[in-house]
Amino acid sequence: METVRTAFRDECVRLDGVLRTLTEADLDRPTPCPPWAVRDLVAHVSTGAGRLVDMLAAPAPPRAEVDAAGYFGAAKFTPEVDAARVDSARREARRPADVAATAEAFTAAWRGTDSAVAAQPADRVVRTRHGDAMTLSDFLVTRVVEVGVHGLDLARALDRRPWLTPTAARVVADLLTGGRPVPARLGWDPLTVIRKTTGRLPLTEAERAEIATADFRWLSFAG
């Protein structure tokens, strides 16, 4: 789990630094995740980064039933769940908060999780808000995905280069590909793997042809 924990910490530290450079106007920029503005997306990421604190304080389920890939199944992306996710972030973001308070909220969230994780074994089982029983290490992978992939969305909204950290990029890319090698002819690095497979960069016709030829498949965040 140390690699995953390092990925989570590295990515959170990087985002933490970015948030402290924002202006008030930046918080109201639109994002590639409509209807969220930057402040809404940051609120969503902060909530997700801090979830493990309460989960680890609750009793452990007897066994894990879902892994990190299974967590991103279709049930997490129904219209009802999507609507609740959007509304929750917008309510949280509408609390009076300037840039400094927004950054501090994220800092408190991720550091709380990092401290809680440090006191637990990797095979500790937790229950998610959706009812899934997962190992701590698998759920932490999903947190790396949340912070890292939405970091790409924030970078685009802020007109900045992607800041995805190397360890987080490897963790997310490995989850998306199931650890299988990417066809060499595609020439994708881990960042490109993530952007292409999550729809954040379009596939070219040549890439589509190579993917079909190689029967290259990846995890969809909709199941």
pLDDT attached to residue 223: 44
pLDDT attached to residue 73: 77
CATH code for residues 2-165: 1.20.120.450
pLDDT attached to residue 90: 60
pLDDT attached to residue 56: 98
pLDDT, tens digit, 9 for 90 and up, residues 19-73: 999 999 999 999 999 999 999 999 999 999 999 999 999 999 999 999 999 999 7
pLDDT attached to residue 88: 64
pLDDT attached to residue 12: 99
pLDDT attached to residue 92: 63
| Ranges of the chain whose pLDDT falls below 70 | 74-96, 222-223
Instruction: Give 182's DSSP letter.
Output: P
pLDDT attached to residue 97: 76
Average pLDDT value for the chain: 92
The whole-model pTM stands at 0.92
Residue with tokens 């940051």: 42
pLDDT attached to residue 221: 80
